Amino acid sequence: MFIQTLIQKFKSIRDILDRVYIEYRERKSVQRYTPRSSGVNIKTQVSRLNVQNIIDMDNIEKHNIVLITLDCLRYSNLSFAGYFRETTPFIDSAPNKFRAFAAAPWTYPSVASIMTGLYPHNHNAYLHGKIKDVGNLNQFRAISRNVLTLPEILLWAGYDVGMVTSIAVAAYSLRNRITSKVYPGTAPAEKVFNYAEKWIKNSQNPFFIYIHLGDLHGPLYPPRKFRDYFGKVKILPKIRTWAYTKPEEQQGKNFEEYKYNRILLYDNTLRYLDYAIEKFYKRLKAIGKAENTVFILTSDHGEEFWEHAKIESKYFYDNRGIYGVGHGHNVFNEVIEVPIVIWGEPIEKISGVTNSISSVDIMPTILDILNIHYFAKLDGISLFQKRDKKRPILSEATGAGYEKKALIIGKYKLLYSPYDNVEWVFDLESDPYEHNPILDEELVKIFKEMLRKIYQKDEAEKISQIIKSRKLFIK
């Protein structure tokens, strides 16, 4: 008994030390990804654009907007999506719930897409290099200067605009575009929401706040009350981050035990997030700040739990030597399927939209809700507008290995990674888990040509916009 108690105490101390070290690394990450203030006034920056030529706000409806992103949230693990655990009872109660595809499989380009309504190749904020390396800051590029973000548009419209995040790289996506409060990655959702609530209380105008929560991004530290919510999690080495990242390790009893407990810890953390979101919403209602407010919840990307580990290790190069876990490395559905959930008193049930939805649709949907007409290029389509069931959806701008792209049209999906010699088309109805590419060279050629035409068209539009930009910018 004494030895067991001693072992338990040692584990608790080790856990505390691990958390302290992780928070230290997170603070260093914040310094790394968040540049020192350059004294740039965001509104002055926006005023350099002749915005009246591209935005019509004459009949604006000034609803408040709360946009919440849950980092690493897999669509398939939501209970409304049919998951076997009731992970999200509060989120399930929202009247508008959609399955969407993230524009990118990791945070930096994905947040930029949410905030611009553009795919990464059109907003430019992604890693520029043949072999993607998130540790190389020289590969990072900013959102193109001639692209307006949602916060800037709303700031120009007279909104109070704010951002709070526990993922530093989310703030880095929007540097010099929005003022942000950055917490360490181990900051629980309730701490982030407390800041957001105080900020909202102090707002004197209609408000837009972007809240980016990192609880599902490793290391996972759900509060004690939720740590074992769906079952007791066995404390195994690296259970909060990742183990068994090499193909040769991913077999046997120990691996299966780790996999079960790692997913259980993820689900317990997701249940905590659902609780924290409900608590935040009820507190805003209690202070009268939810009455004219639209809430939108999404994710920047999903998370892989070894679904394609063998395929990835066999066919794809990863400079980190990691396969089958996490995000950013590939564009299989578990990494790019995300939810878009909308609720709030100003919004009724959105009908008629069931598929062909992308995270780039969030910005035009918000502009539609506010009755703001935006005439510059958008890849996204408002969820209130009809869409072609065969509308092409893209996901691109990976964060490890060679570039990989997904093109989804109806039930078909192209996974394209030329440097890995991968050109696969999947039938997502007959093969929803993407394990059996269709062996049809003609079909692959058709999808490759569709992808080429999309990029060719966008490149032509960019050149045209550069030519017109002299008229857009005030001299």
List, for residues 96-144, the tens digit of each pLDDT value.
999 999 999 999 999 999 999 999 999 999 999 999 999 999 999 999 9
Range of weakest confidence among 133-147, 408-422, 450-464: 450-464
pLDDT digits (tens, 9 = 90+) for 414-430: 999 999 999 999 999 99
- With a cut of 80, say whether residue 329 has pLDDT above it: yes
Instruction: Give residue 34's pLDDT.
Output: 47
**Average pLDDT in the chain:** 89
For 311, other C-beta atoms within 10 Å of its C-beta total 18
Range of weakest confidence among 36-50, 312-326, 333-347: 36-50
Q: Where are the beta strands (DSSP E) in 159-245?
A: 160-165, 180-182, 207-213
- With a cut of 70, say whether residue 48 has pLDDT above it: no
- With a cut of 60, say whether residue 309 has pLDDT above it: yes
Instruction: Give residue 214's pLDDT.
Output: 97
Nearest to 350, CA basis, from 106, 170, 96, 151: 96
Residues in the chain: 475
Q: Give, for 270, the enclosing helix (H) or strand (E).
A: helix 253-286
Beta strand 325-326 with 304-305: parallel, antiparallel or unpaired? antiparallel
Residue with token string 């982030």: 192
**Domains within the chain, CATH numbers bracketed:** 9-34+61-392 (3.40.720.10)
The burial of 59, by beta-carbon neighbours within 10 Å (0-12 exposed, 13-18 middle, 19 or more buried), is given as exposed
Write the CB contacts of 397 (distance below 8 Å, at least 6 apart in sequence).
Answer: 103, 104, 105, 106, 109, 120, 121, 126, 127, 403
How far apart CA 445 and CA 101 sit, in angstroms, is: 23
- With a cut of 60, say whether residue 228 has pLDDT above it: yes
Categorise residue 238: left if φ over 0, alpha if ψ from -120 to 50, beta otherwise.
left
pLDDT digits (tens, 9 = 90+) for 62-106: 999 999 999 999 999 999 999 999 999 999 999 999 999 999 999
Task: Provide the Cα torsion 425, 429, 430, 436; round to 10°.
Answer: 30
Beta strand 160-165 with 207-213: parallel, antiparallel or unpaired? parallel
Instruction: Give residue 123's pLDDT.
Output: 96
Nearest to 127, CA basis, from 104, 109, 113: 109
- With a cut of 70, say whether residue 469 has pLDDT above it: no
